[in-house]
């Protein structure tokens, strides 16, 4: 690393090596050269005077890029594509005359972007599946563990820890679906010419429309796409970028919510993210165990969520067949979106693989709140024993308020159970009171819902990634 120059933290700190390489200059300009080679091969097949020797020279130099020369050429011509046309021609001079034949700049820039985005989607989809897989294991393990539920961040009826995890998984399944759809519906720009009319290629092939259509189809297949967009301007529609960013930024929203939930639960000491033996939580407070991984994920996810507005605005201001004010924005936005998403996924997979649960703390918090929640069950049991419902309700109301006063005004523990046990009125249920307060009576069908959800929705969704699920996430920093 050149420490004298700025480098984005996304590539040096947060994203994986494979994602950084995918968006590297080496990969981008190698893709440009492949596209010029594809075009020449297809043109040769359709009868243009292009020799095997020219094609071989192009193929041999796809990855041999003289970046210093390319920079000099760009400084001279003020045009990145023409700079690389000249740089490519310099290392395969026999092919110099047929490189970029009939093409516009967007033939290489747009098509290469689509290849790189497709590859980026192929990188993050298995990582998302691994996150879902780890949470599925967590949900299965803790499907029966009662926990205090929260609505409005206030204590509510009980659920289970596994059921809570299924709510996280549900959102991630939506992201898996959206990203998969985006990946499967992504098409190639193809060979369309300056304003998308294919006029230059029609001239090359003496007005033979079928050959121009076949040229488009051949290059599309060489690039590994099943189809190309039938109509484009000079660029493919920037609504495609918006579609991509909607799916990727949606993943950011899901992960931000999950990481926030883990942070809230860590505050309650119900669970914690992994914390290494020698990890320091605070430079000033030795006892701290800060949820730094989830905080990092929230920070990155928040950045990811903002990027979709760039794609919205760029799509909105593409005048007529195109304007160039999309270029600099897209270089940043598309790259950062996938590098950021990759960083979030790596971080959260690591969290999901090492979540630590504290059942005794969870149960202690349940005990503090459950007596209030159990009052309806107590009333029903008393009525069955012959008591008057309204009278019983009033007795419990008074005792509940007294217990609440102890908790809120005196800082004591919830003593409602002790008050009921000390009341002669409630003698008919004293012997069964502990049974009425069993947390498992208050979790409804949560365990059954976990099993059903995992079997019906989760396992089928990640089955196609089963050979890629084993890889663990190791965070260096």
pLDDT 10s digits, 19-35: 999 999 999 999 999 99
Where does residue 367 rank: exposed (0-12), middle (13-18), buried (19+ CB within 10 A)? Answer: middle
Distance between CA atoms of residues 443 and 447, nearest Å:
8
Q: Which residues contact 461 (CB under 8 A, 6 or more apart)?
A: 129, 132, 173, 176, 177
The residue written with tokens 């109509």 in the block is 231
Q: What is the pLDDT of residue 3?
A: 67
Q: What is the pLDDT of residue 23?
A: 95
Distance between CA atoms of residues 376 and 382, nearest Å:
10
Q: What is the pLDDT of residue 32?
A: 97
Bigger pLDDT: 476 vs 78: 78
Q: Which entry of 64, 227, 282, 309 is annotated as an active-site residue?
A: 282
Bigger pLDDT: 472 vs 188: 188
Mean pLDDT for the chain? Answer: 92
**Cβ–Cβ under 8 Å, residues 160 and 450:** yes
Q: Which residues contact 117 (CB under 8 A, 6 or more apart)?
A: 186, 244, 334, 338
Please name each of the domains of the chain with its CATH number: 18-98 (1.10.275.10), 105-138+164-206+226-358 (1.20.200.10), 375-436 (1.10.40)
Distance between CA atoms of residues 142 and 62, nearest Å:
52
Mean pLDDT of 285-293: 67
pLDDT above 70 coverage of the chain, percent: 96
Q: Kindly report the length of the chain.
A: 477
Model confidence pLDDT, tens digit, residues 143-159: 999 999 999 998 888 99
Mean pLDDT of 427-439: 88
Distance between CA atoms of residues 31 and 19, nearest Å:
15
Name the band, by pLDDT with cuts 50, 70 and 90, for residue 326: confident
Q: What is the pLDDT of residue 284?
A: 45
Mean pLDDT of 227-250: 95
- Res 110 pLDDT > 70: yes
Distance between CA atoms of residues 211 and 296, nearest Å:
53
- Res 283 pLDDT > 60: no
Mean pLDDT of 183-201: 94
- Single out the residue of 329, 426, 239, 338 nearest to residue 10, CA to CA: 338
- Res 101 pLDDT > 70: yes
Distance between CA atoms of residues 280 and 290, nearest Å:
9
pTM of the model: 0.90
**Assigned token pair, 211:** 């050959």
Q: What is the pLDDT of residue 286?
A: 40
Distance between CA atoms of residues 70 and 433, nearest Å:
81
Bigger pLDDT: 416 vs 341: 341
Mean pLDDT of 349-360: 95
Distance between CA atoms of residues 398 and 391, nearest Å:
11
Q: What is the pLDDT of residue 1?
A: 56
Model confidence pLDDT, tens digit, residues 437-458: 889 988 999 999 999 999 999 9
Q: Which entry of 3, 152, 278, 431 is annotated as an active-site residue?
A: 152
- Res 217 pLDDT > 80: yes
Name the band, by pLDDT with cuts 50, 70 and 90, for residue 202: very high
Name the band, by pLDDT with cuts 50, 70 and 90, for residue 66: very high
Name the band, by pLDDT with cuts 50, 70 and 90, for residue 60: very high
Active site residue 282: yes
Bigger pLDDT: 355 vs 436: 355
According to the 3-state scheme, what is the secondary structure of the chain? CCCCCCCCHHHHHHCCHHHHHHCCHHHHHHHHHHHHHHHHHHHHHCCCCCCHHHHHHHHHCCCCCCHHHHHHHHHHHCCHHHHHHHHHHHHCHHHHHHCCCCCCHHHHHHHHHHHHHHHHHHHHHHHHHHHHHHHHHHHHHCCCCEEEEEECCEEEEEEEHHHHHHHHHHHHHHHHHHHHHHHHHCCECCCCCCCCCCHHHHHHCCCCHHHHHHHHHHHHHHCCCCCECCCCCCCCCCHHHHHHHHHHHHHHHHHHHHHHHHHHHHHCCCEECCCCCCCCCCCCCCCCCCCHHHHHHHHHHHHHHHCHHHHHHHHHCCCCCCCHHHHHHHHHHHHHHHHHHHHHHHHHHHHHHCCEECHHHHHHHHHHHHHHHCHHHHHHHHHHCCCCHHHHHHHHHHHHHHHHHHHHHCCCCCCHHHHHHHCHHHHHHHHHHHHHCCHHHHCCCHHHHHHHHHHHHHHHHHHHHHHHCCCCCCCCC
Name the band, by pLDDT with cuts 50, 70 and 90, for residue 477: low
Q: What is the pLDDT of residue 377?
A: 85
Name the band, by pLDDT with cuts 50, 70 and 90, for residue 90: very high
């Amino acid at each position: 690393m050149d420490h004298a120059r700025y480098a984005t933290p996304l590539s040096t700190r947060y994203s994986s090596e494979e994602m950084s390489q995918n968006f590297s200059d080496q990969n981008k300009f190698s893709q440009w050269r492949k596209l010029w080679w594809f075009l020449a091969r297809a043109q040769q097949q359709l009868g243009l005077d292009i020799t095997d020797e020219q094609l071989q020279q192009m193929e041999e130099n796809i990855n041999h890029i003289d970046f210093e020369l390319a920079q000099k050429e760009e400084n001279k011509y003020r045009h990145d594509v023409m700079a690389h046309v000249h740089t490519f021609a310099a290392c395969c001079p026999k092919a110099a005359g047929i490189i970029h034949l009939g093409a516009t700049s967007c033939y290489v820039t747009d098509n290469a972007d689509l290849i790189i985005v497709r590859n980026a989607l192929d990188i993050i989809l298995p990582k998302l599946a691994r996150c879902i897989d780890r949470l599925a294991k967590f949900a299965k393990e803790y499907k029966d563990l009662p926990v205090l539920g929260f609505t409005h961040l206030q204590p509510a009826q009980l659920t289970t820890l596994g059921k809570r995890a299924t709510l996280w998984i549900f959102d991630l399944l939506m992201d898996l679906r959206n990203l998969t759809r985006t990946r499967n519906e992504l098409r190639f720009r193809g060979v369309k010419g300056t304003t998308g009319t294919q006029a230059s290629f029609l001239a090359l092939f003496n007005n033979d429309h079928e050959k121009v259509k076949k040229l488009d189809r051949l290059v599309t297949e060489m690039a590994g796409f099943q189809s190309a967009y039938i109509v484009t301007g000079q660029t493919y529609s920037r609504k495609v970028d918006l579609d991509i960013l909607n799916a990727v930024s949606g993943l950011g929203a899901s992960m931000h919510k999950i990481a926030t939930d883990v942070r809230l639960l860590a505050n309650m000491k119900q669970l914690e993210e992994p914390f290494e033996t020698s990890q320091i939580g605070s430079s000033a407070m030795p006892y701290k165990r800060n949820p730094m991984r989830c905080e990092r994920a929230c920070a990155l996810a928040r950045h990811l969520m903002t990027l979709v507005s760039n794609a919205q605005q760029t799509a909105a201001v593409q005048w007529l067949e195109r304007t160039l004010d999309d270029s600099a924005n897209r270089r940043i936005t598309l790259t950062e979106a996938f590098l950021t998403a990759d960083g979030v996924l790596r971080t959260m997979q690591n969290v999901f693989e090492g979540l630590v649960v504290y059942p005794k703390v969870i149960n202690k918090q349940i005990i503090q709140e459950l007596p209030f929640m159990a009052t309806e069950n107590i009333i029903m049991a008393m009525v069955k024993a012959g008591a008057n419902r309204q009278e019983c309700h009033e007795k419990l109301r008074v005792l509940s308020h007294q217990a609440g006063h102890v908790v809120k005004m005196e800082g004591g523990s919830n003593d409602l159970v002790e008050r009921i046990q000390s009341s002669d009125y409630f003698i008919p249920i004293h012997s069964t009171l502990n049974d009425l307060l069993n947390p498992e009576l208050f979790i409804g069908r949560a365990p059954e819902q976990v099993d059903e959800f995992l079997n019906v929705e989760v396992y089928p969704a990640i089955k196609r990634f089963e050979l890629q699920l084993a890889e663990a996430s190791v965070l260096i920093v």
